[in-house]
Amino acid sequence: MAEIDVPGPDPTWDPAPSPWGSGGGGWRRNDNPAFQTSLWGYALGAFDLIAGLSTPMAPLAARLRLTVEHGWEDLGEVEAAMFAIQEIDFALSRTAGNPLPGVYVWLAKAASDQAEALDLLLATLGLGREALTFLREVTPEGETYYRPCD
C-alpha cells in the first residue's frame, strides 16, 4: 500500500470549535470547517441523568472492575464509565469543573423503569439509598426536576 501524505492544517484555521467554546479562537472568525464534539458529549444523547452518588469514581469503578475513560465537556475534564447490568445501560461520570461532589448516575433513555434500574445498580455496587445525593423526579405533566436526598 502506497503511503499517502496528508497536508498539514491550513494556517488560517484555529483549532476546531466545540459546542462548549471557541476551540481557542476566541470570538473571532474561524474558517476551520470541522466542528469538534467529545465522545462523552455524544454518548450523553442516549442517557438521562437520574441520580447523584456521594462516593468518588474510583471505588465505584473498582467494585465493578470498570475502566474509567477520560474526556471533556463544557465544565472541563470528565471521568466516565459506561456499562450494562442485566442488559440495562448505565453511565457514571465525574466532571472536574463541577462544584458538586460525587458521581452522576446516567440511565439509558430506552430503560423502562428508573426506580428498578437504580435499585439494581445500588445493589450491584453494594450501596444503599443513603449514598444518593439527589434523585431525578418526573411530574405527571412530564417535567423533570432533581430532588435532594437526605
The one-digit pLDDT tens for each residue of the chain (150 residues) are 789 998 888 888 887 776 544 444 445 566 778 877 778 878 888 999 999 999 999 999 999 999 999 988 777 789 999 999 999 999 999 988 777 779 999 999 999 899 999 999 999 999 999 999 999 999 999 999 999 997
Give the pTM: 0.80
Residue 15 CA to its chain's centroid (Å): 23
Q: What's the CA gap between 102 and 82, in Å, rounded?
A: 17
Burial of residue 70, with CB atoms counted within 10 A of its CB: 0-12 exposed, 13-18 middle, 19 or more buried:
exposed
**Which grid coordinates belong to 4?**
499517502
Domain boundaries along the sequence of the chain: 39-148
